[in-house]
Amino acid sequence: MEESPIRFIPVHILEAILSKAPAKSVLRFRCISKSCNAFITSPSFISLHIKAALANKNTTNNPKLVLGTFPSFEPTRGNHTLYHEIDELLVPDQKFKYTFHDRSISTNYVECLGSCNGVICMHYIDHDKVTLWNPAIRKSLTIPFTEVDNSAEHYRMGFWFDIKTSDYKIITLVQANGDRRQAPKRVQLYELNRNSWRSIATAPVHINSQAPSFLNGNLHWFGYSKIGSTDSRWCNRVVLFQVTNEVFGDMELPEGYLTHALDPLHRRLSTSMLVLGELLSLVEYWSTRVEIWVMKEYGVTESWSRFYNISMDNIGRVYGLIDIRKVLGLKLENKLVLYEPETRSKLLTIDRAINAYAADYLDTLSLLNRT
Amino acid sequence: MASTDDKVILKSSEGECFEVDMAVASHLQIVKSVLEDCEGSSDKVVSLFIVEAKYVAMIIEYYKNYVELKEKHEEGGFEEKLKEFEKQFLEQIDKKELKGLVMAVNYLNAPALFDVVCTAIAKHIENKSVEYVREYFGIVNDFTAEEEAQIREEHRWAYDGVNDD
């Protein structure tokens, strides 16, 4: 029997099919027809495509993103290069799939504030500039910056995707220079949907680490707080921000955190937060070593335990963990390294890197409909 | 042995009849709702007016295996076994038939298979040109040359690496 021709394929079937195709293919198919272009660029299809990518992520091996940041004069690697697979890191002169070039900015002082739904939020600290970048569709947006008086104050930021409103949000805490036991002067919240900042209530917290970690609907920084203290004294704590209620809170650090620091032989230089697998983790930089702690049960102080203890000779700055066993970090002389603490082996080294970031990666159309 | 009460007859557009276990047919939402509507009636024939026999056969094959594997691997491992079967199932279907099958599955409202076929089609077209995809789905280009050129210009890199073979 002859194949009966299909004259017309209903749009909802086409949507279901294209929601499962890679972002690059979907962009190409915008010019199939007017109706295709209309649905592909609609918010509902973009979310459908994200949902399919998330479902696919759960069935395949968690694809990992490693973002390397390089001096902006590097012609092949650009400001940032996204390595899709760990193996790609090993190929030095390949044509990279995702690079970000902007000659107008230097990347000497940069932090990655996080990534959600395939959108990476970069903060160019010495330019007071924040961008949202979706490498899968090669699109980036510059976020208008909140006003800060750099001579008297400094700021800390955080980034997340709000599921309830389908919106990308950024928080800025403006803190006075000097006193570490002082609440932020202002707390500002940016919403991409409205493309504007608004003020929210401040709280007795002070943030003392860079980019926060996002887990269980909360942003986490290392800092000071007197929210949870019974005698209203400022204590070293994990400062958290509940993104749905827009309120601050705190959590205890590992027991004995402060007494450790009194040991004169070992000096703690700084502390930062990470997410390790699905666990909240704390990175402590000591004069000779790096300790990584994890909170095995979220919110339970007793469950903090030391996970890795790495000599500074092997890693100086930790940027993330890849499948728990490999630590991505920076060594002296700007070498990006992937280190396996269990076997004490260095899996790879990349020269001339400034910064890196490791997280789950998702191929999505996020930001396609945003200007 | 299952009694005839547990069977239903599915009739294709050509009038061909397929006797199917209820356990299999109940995965097709349309069959379920038709049977619910005429509950109590002894007539257990469901006419699938627009679905050709070859697609009815494919859909029955898929859900027969689905039901069997689910029973056999109750303790776990069902998902992997199903994936294995799906791969083999899709290998026997050519690209033109995939299109007919997705329409049929959509009509019968069978979510699990719909997902599988959509994924297979997405895989098939992911590296294809716009012209190929238009032809494949029978979609008429209603853009003017200028409009189309403008959209292409927005993501020129997305047109690299296209392979229609």
B57 in A contact zone (CB under 8 Å): no
Give rounded-to-5 percent helix, strand, coil for chain A.
Answer: 15, 40, 40
What tokens appear for A279 in the block?
A: 């666990």
DSSP state of B42: S
Confidence bin at B71 (pLDDT 50/70/90) = very high
A139 in B contact zone (CB under 8 Å): no
Q: What is the dihedral of CA B46, B50, B55, B59, to 10 degrees?
A: -40
Return mean pLDDT, chain B.
91
Q: What is the pLDDT of residue A98?
A: 62
Residues B72 and B138 reside in one and the same domain = no
- Which residues on chain A are in Cβ contact (under 8 Å) with B148? 31
Nearest C-alpha of chain A: how many angstroms from B52?
10
B80 in A contact zone (CB under 8 Å): no
Which residues, including other chains, have CB under 8 Å from residue A43's CB and lie 6 or more apart?
Answer: A166, A369
Residue B40 CB coordination number (10 Å): 4
Query: Do the strands B7-11 and B45-47 form a parallel or antiparallel pair, or are they unpaired?
Result: parallel
Please list the rounded mean pLDDT of every run of 10 residues in chain A (371 residues): 57 96 96 95 95 78 64 66 62 55 68 88 85 89 84 91 92 89 92 94 91 93 85 87 94 78 68 86 87 92 90 82 76 79 81 76 90 82
Give the Cα separation of B124 and B136 in Å (integer): 11
* Interchain CB distance below 8 Å, B130 and A9: no
Contact A350, A89 (CB under 8 A): yes
Q: Given B99, B126, B157, which is nearest A6 (Cβ)?
A: B99
Q: Is the confidence at residue B104, as pLDDT, over 90?
A: yes
Amino acid letter for position A267: R
% residues pLDDT > 90 (chain B): 76
- Which residues on chain B are in Cβ contact (under 8 Å) with A28? 129-130, 155, 158-159, 162
Residues B118 and B150 reside in one and the same domain = no
Contacts 24+ apart (CB under 8 A), B30-38: B30/B107, B30/B108, B30/B109, B31/B108, B35/B8
* Interchain CB distance below 8 Å, A21 and B141: no
Give residue B52's Cα distance to chain centre.
12
Q: What is the pLDDT of residue A342?
A: 84
Residues B159 and B93 reside in one and the same domain = no
Q: Is A221 strand, coil or helix?
A: strand
Q: What is the pLDDT of residue A84?
A: 61
DSSP state of A2: P
What was the ipTM of the complex prediction?
Answer: 0.93
A31 in B contact zone (CB under 8 Å): yes
Contact A362, A53 (CB under 8 A): yes
Q: Is A258 strand, coil or helix?
A: helix
Residues B119 and B134 reside in one and the same domain = no
Residues B138 and B118 reside in one and the same domain = no
Residues B152 and B89 reside in one and the same domain = no
Amino acid letter for position A167: D
Which residues, including other chains, have CB under 8 Å from residue B112's CB and lie 6 or more apart?
Answer: B27, B66
Give the Cα separation of A214 and A158 in Å (integer): 9
For the residues of A290-344, what is the DSSP string, one character each?
EEEEEESSTT-GGGEEEEEEEETTT-SEEEEEETTTEEEEEEGGGEEEEEETTTT
Q: Is A85 strand, coil or helix?
A: coil
Q: What is the pLDDT of residue B105?
A: 96
Q: In the predicted model, what is the mean pLDDT of residues B6-27?
A: 92
Q: What is the pLDDT of residue A70?
A: 72
Q: Among residues 137-156 of chain B, which lie with CB inside 8 Å of chain A?
A: 137-143, 148, 151-152, 154-155
Nearest C-alpha of chain B: how many angstroms from A13?
8
**If you search the block for the tokens 């070039």, which residue do you land on?**
A101
Q: Is the confidence at residue B128, as pLDDT, over 60?
A: yes
Residues B121 and B134 reside in one and the same domain = no
**Phi and psi for B7 in degrees, rounded to 5?**
-115, 155
Give the Cα separation of B80 and A6 in Å (integer): 33
- Which residues on chain B are in Cβ contact (under 8 Å) with A13? 102-103, 106, 118
| Rg of chain A taking only CA atoms, in angstroms | 22
Q: What is the dihedral of CA A287, A292, A294, A299, to 10 degrees?
A: 30
Instruction: Give the number of domains in chain B.
Output: 2
Residues B116 and B162 reside in one and the same domain = no
**If you search the block for the tokens 């009460």, which residue do you land on?**
B5
* Interchain CB distance below 8 Å, A17 and B148: no
Strand partners, B127: none
Domain that residue B134 falls in: 129-165
* Interchain CB distance below 8 Å, A4 and B126: no
Instruction: Return the minimum-mean-pLDDT range out of A34-43, A304-313, B2-11, B23-32.
Output: B2-11
Residues B24 and B65 reside in one and the same domain = yes
Residues B110 and B65 reside in one and the same domain = yes
Residue count of chain A: 371
* Interchain CB distance below 8 Å, B102 and A3: no
* Interchain CB distance below 8 Å, B138 and A14: no
- Which residues on chain A are in Cβ contact (under 8 Å) with B99? 6, 9
Contact A52, A60 (CB under 8 A): no
Q: In the predicted model, what is the mean pLDDT of residues B107-127?
A: 96
Give the Cα separation of A60 and A353 in Å (integer): 30
For the residues of A40-56, what is the DSSP string, one character each?
HTSHHHHHHHHHHHHHH
For the residues of A269-301, what is the DSSP string, one character each?
EEEEEEEETTEEEEEEEESSEEEEEEESSTT-G
Residues B73 and B135 reside in one and the same domain = no
CATH of residue B89: 3.30.710.10
* Interchain CB distance below 8 Å, A9 and B151: no
- Which residues on chain A are in Cβ contact (under 8 Å) with B155? 27-28, 30, 137-138
> Which residue does chain A place closest to B138, by CA atoms?
A7
Q: What is the pLDDT of residue B2?
A: 45
B112 in A contact zone (CB under 8 Å): no
Contact A200, A211 (CB under 8 A): no
Q: What is the pLDDT of residue A74?
A: 64
A1 vs A4, A5, B17, B53, CA distance in Å? Answer: 9, 12, 18, 11
Q: Is A233 exposed, middle or buried (0-12, 13-18, 19+ CB in 10 A)?
A: exposed
Which residues, including other chains, have CB under 8 Å from residue B7's CB and lie 6 or more apart?
Answer: B19, B20, B21, B22, B44
Q: What is the pLDDT of residue B41?
A: 66
Residues B107 and B152 reside in one and the same domain = no
Query: What is the edge-to-edge ordering of all strands in the sheet holding B45-47?
Result: B17-21, B7-11, B45-47
